[in-house]
Amino acid sequence: MANLHSNFLCPLPPGLNHAVTREIGGHEREGRISTGADAGGVVSGHMIRKLAIIVSAFAATAILAADSGPQRKILFFSKSSGFEHAVISWKTGQPSFVEKILLELGKKNRWDFTFLKDGTNLNKAYLAQFDAVIFYTSGDMTVPGTDGHPGMPPEGKQALLDYVRGGKGFIGTHSASDTFHTDNESQRGPDRFVNHGDKADPFVRMLGGEFIKHGAQQEALIKVINPQFPGFEKIGAEFSFLEEWYSLKDFTPDIHVLNVIDAPSMKGDEYKRPPYPVTWARNEGKGRVFYTAMGHREDVWTNPTFQEILAGGIKWALGDVKADIPPNIQTAAPEAYVNPPYIEPKSRAPKKQ
């Protein structure tokens, strides 16, 4: 709900002036109310009922006005310089599957979305118009890559980091962690399984973690760490659904872990490791960063649990709701920095002539 000051005035009985305060959106303002009375200044029951009706009408009007307040502007950037996910592709038309879901969420929450794949727009002036940016991206954003859309200008990456640090919101979904890999290590083998700490790419440090690999899609048990964080209030202690679960590394130490995946119970070499975070929040300068590794499948985007988590994260990143996010990775996932083993790929048998 947008901030709205409601200030209204109507008559009070002679000698009976009451200061009335109405609070909407955390702001308050004082007004005066008065109404008619008999010569002795006594307010009748009929007059009180009339006053109650008037006040109720004003209150309803104020609430409706607040609901029609200014929208929040959000940029959804879905360029794929690396792997292009089907749910964000424009190859079968626009908007993409994810963009349709976001439009529905936008109607419910008064979010005005702009959908973008052309990286040349990502500069300081263009970003300034938005309250938050959502990345569903992959690869090196400075090159055209897989989807062929133009890459970001050389200064675009720094402009994005400055935008967030200056007090805006950043939301990363799924393959946002497969973006701007440290030293372009996504093209290498064993390097993908190494933690770089402070030497990790600045985008990775801002986001809070980096994608290593994923195994076969499967159902996994996800533990909720902070049920008070926006979007998690009604989720329960844990949930599970079928998804392409990312194995992640190089977690920024100050992340506030929101979800931990039960990796030891999963199938595949990528998950031969202790439990690790898959959703978190953190501050970057004055800005707010929210990331979830979920979002590969269409039925995840339509899942009410995922939508609750995502909407809560967006609201928090916008600064419209508050939450305490102290660093907690040491208690939530104490062995999160233990990465899965590197398995040498099996060489392909030569083709028969």
Helix or strand run (H / E) with residue 169: strand 169-173
Q: Chain-centre distance of CA 153, in angstroms? A: 25
Mean pLDDT of the 294-318 span: 98
Average pLDDT over residues 54-78: 61
Which tokens sit at 162? 């400055």
CATH no. of 72-332: 3.40.50.880
Interatomic CA distance for residues 306 and 102, integer angstroms: 12
Average pLDDT value for residue range 119-142: 97
DSSP 32: E
Query: Which pLDDT tens digit goes with each residue over 212-222?
Result: 999 999 999 99
Question: How far apart are alpha carbons 296 and 220 in whole angstroms?
Answer: 14
pTM for this one?
A: 0.80
pLDDT given for residue 353 in this prediction: 56
Residue 216 is classified by DSSP as S
Return the closest-CA partner of residue 163 out of 252, 286, 80, 256. 286
The Cα angle at residue 200 between residues 77 and 121, in degrees rounded to 5: 25
Q: What is the residue extent of each domain of the chain?
A: 10-67, 72-332
Sign of CA dihedral 306, 76, 169, 250: positive
With 0-12 / 13-18 / 19 or more C-beta atoms within 10 angstroms meaning exposed / middle / buried, residue 25 is middle
pLDDT at 163: 98
Q: Is residue 148 pLDDT above 90, yes or no?
A: yes
> What pLDDT sits at residue 41?
37
* β strands within 18-160, DSSP E: 18-24, 27-34, 72-77, 111-116, 132-135
pLDDT band at 284 (very low <50, low <70, confident <90, very high): very high
For residues 116 and 75, is the Cβ–Cβ distance under 8 A? Answer: yes
Amino acid code (one letter) for 206: M
- pLDDT tops 90 at residue 27: no
Residues of the chain above pLDDT 90, percent: 73
How many secondary structure helices (H) and strands (E) does the chain include? 8, 14
**In whole angstroms, how far apart are CA 48 and each of 13, 32, 44, 330?**
11, 16, 6, 59
- Across all residues in the chain, what is the average pLDDT? 84
Angle at 336 (CA atoms; ends 333, 339), nearest 5 degrees: 155
317-333 in b/e form (b: 16+ CB < 10 A) is bbbbeebebeebbeebb
How are beta strands 287-292 and 169-173 bridged, if at all? parallel
Res 348: pLDDT = 64
Report the pLDDT averaged over residues 140-167.
96
